[in-house]
Structure 1
Amino acid sequence: MPKSPLMKTLFWIAVVVMAIWMLFPFYWMVNSALKTEAQLQMTPATFVPRDPTTLGVSVSLQNFAAVFRNAKFRQGIWNSIIVAGTTTVIALVVGSFAAFALGKLHFRGKTPSTYLILAMTMFPQISVLSGLYALMNWLNISAIPFMILSYMIFTLPFTVWVQTSFFKGLPTSLLQAAYVDGASPFQTFYLILLPLTAPALVTTGLLAFIAAWNEYLFALTFTSVQPAARTVTVAIALFTGEISRQEPFGEIMAAGVVVTIPLILLVLIFQRQIMAGLTAGAVKG
């Protein structure tokens, strides 16, 4: 039954409103990052950077320059790359093996294991934070390795759960044909099934990377006594202005733009794989 013009109009109005609602915070962050201190103090606030005297459009990159001059910010980006990248690789490697076992192999305790992994995603992170911090001090582990291990708490269950559904959707005939040809379970997993799960690997890997890149609470706690190990989110939160008693709002917004753009580019580059991974198994032919 065709939709009426009124329904189509209401639909597109809703789409536009939702798009503005989601994109406006990022737009305002970019707008604020391109303003000077004087422009940020203008009232009412302007939707584009304007000169306080002439009210003409005037864009400034001084906030971005100040951000990249900040050694703590540069170190925070490097620390975040190490932590998020290593967390993602470990989650994909371990998660792929676990998902293959849960999705295609038969063993005792398979169903309880699956639900246990799902249950791990339901625990709030704050509930284990104090215990992990005490464990880090007791074991005397550096902050960066311990952050990588602790981030596995919320990246690995998600990775295993999503990839398990994907492995279940692969034809069992592939597994049987590989066994007939003399392939071992590992060869079947590595050479035949794993390449077919590329959309799921990209989807879970990217989401795990974003989760580790944006994580703040664990990073703030674990680096409280090791400032050199602070990730970029903590470095931005602890920004201090170049002038005494200054609230560096423009620099904070510029830093937010810098750390957000790589994530947007990754999503745009891998958007087809992400959609294929998220919709895998949704329709049965």
Structure 2
Amino acid sequence: MAPRALGVGMNFLRSPRVWLWIAAAIVVVNGFFPALWIFFTSLKLEGELTRLPITYWPQHPTFQNYLQAFREQPLGRYFFNSVVVGVCSTLLCVGVASLAAYALARLQVPRRGLILSLMVGISMFPVASLMVPLYQTFTELGLRNNYLALILPHAALSLPVATLTLVSFFAGIPRDLESAAMIDGSTRVGALWRVVMPLAAPGVFTAAILAFVNSWDEFLLASTLLPAKAMRTLPVGIQLYQGEYSFPWPLISAALVVALVPVALIIALFQERVVGGLTQGGVKG
């Protein structure tokens, strides 16, 4: 009986489907465990964090940390600032990327391959290398502590990826649809917004979500260009909870959960469009 069971087990492990499930389980645990740990920590009392043995589930769950997080710092204001910067930079990025991608996909643009290669190279620039010129530029323009100081750089930083994502979608849409729209009296820009953009909706959603997440998580520019307390975004505001000699992890975790909820909701609501956009864009490209 034992050799037979061993043989069945070996055949089970030889199945490619089994290894795919194992790999998927590892990815899921790796992705969800840190988020769950942060959420459970936000429900714990300070004393539970130093208690041995370690308790994964809160012994006495409490939402007091969330109330305290809003009392100690203007977390609501930080949240509002992040929403304004994220939404405005995303709209600006997608609008400009749509025009640029349409031109690269439809018009006879000289050196098209070189332009696409430069976009790939520009998207790899570290943000730290842009800090000095951006700081000097926005200081001279008097735009520090202004939403534009983040909206413009965030939109520009996400623009190459958004453009490359949309180029492949626009290239896969039949030209006859635009021709028919222009024959009926529409302009080329009108055909873009009324015909091409709805058909490229998965790519547009993908580009928009990538741009929004990049803006929502960005720390370095936000901490430098918006130093005023009333203008800080969530990533900058959260790091202010730590003291000189103490780290109130329950409060920090509660603030992190507040910052994670919008991104998690967006991805949960539009995950099918995002996955479809990434896969279809890869095939068409």
* Structures share fold, TM-score greater than 0.5: yes
Corresponding residue of 1:12: 21
For 2:177 and 2:226, the matched residues in 1 are separated by: 47
1:5 Cα offset (Å): 2.6
> Where does residue 185 of structure 1 map in the other structure?
188
CA distance in 1, matches of 2:156, 2:127: 9
* Equivalent residue number for residue 259 of structure 1: 259
What's 1:161 paired with?
Answer: 164
Q: Is the 8 A contact 2:155 2:211 kept in 1?
A: no
Mind listing any 5+ residue stretches in structure 2 that lack a counterpart? 1-10
When structure 1 is superposed on structure 2, of 63-72 and 88-97 the one drifting more is: 63-72
| Conserved? CA contact 2:120–2:160, under 8 Å | yes
Distance in 2 separating the partners of 1:30 and 1:141: 37
- Distance in 2 (alpha carbons) for counterparts of 1:155 and 1:281: 17
Aligned residues: 272
Q: Secondary structure at the match of 1:270?
A: helix
The alignment yields a C-alpha RMSD, in angstroms, of 2.1
User: 1:105-140 CA distances to partner (integer Å, 9 max, x unpaired)?
Assistant: 223343333332222102111111122112222222
How many angstroms apart in 2 are the aligned matches of 1:266 and 1:40?
31
AA aligned to 1:260 is L
CA distance in 2, matches of 1:87, 1:72: 23
Give the drift of 1:166: 0.8
* Contact 2:203–2:281 (8 Å) recurs in 1: no
Deviation at 1:178, TM superposition (A): 2.9
Aligned to 2:3: none
Separation (CA, whole Å) in 2 of partners of 1:152 and 1:246: 36
SS in 1 for 2:209: helix
Deviation at 1:39, TM superposition (A): 1.3
Structure 2 CA distance for aligned equivalents of residues 170 and 251 of structure 1: 49
- What is the alpha-carbon distance in structure 1 between the residues aligned to residue 38 and residue 235 of structure 2? 15
Partner of 1:195: 198
State how far apart, in whole Å, the 2-side matches of 1:22 and 1:88 are: 25
The letter for the 1-side match of 2:168 is S
In structure 1, the partner of 2:42 is 33
Deviation at 1:282, TM superposition (A): 4.1
Q: Unmatched 5+ residue regions in structure 1?
A: 51-57
Deviating 4+ runs (over 6 angstroms): none
Higher helix share: 2
- When normalised by structure 2's length, the TM-score is 0.88
Alignment of 1:119 with 2:121, yes or no, is: yes
Q: Following TM superposition, by how much is the alpha carbon of 1:38 offset from its aligned partner in structure 2, in angstroms? A: 1.3
Q: Which residue of 1 aligns with 2:74?
A: 72
Instruction: Give the stretch that moved more between structures: 132-141 or 154-163.
Output: 132-141
TM-score, scaled relative to structure 1: 0.88
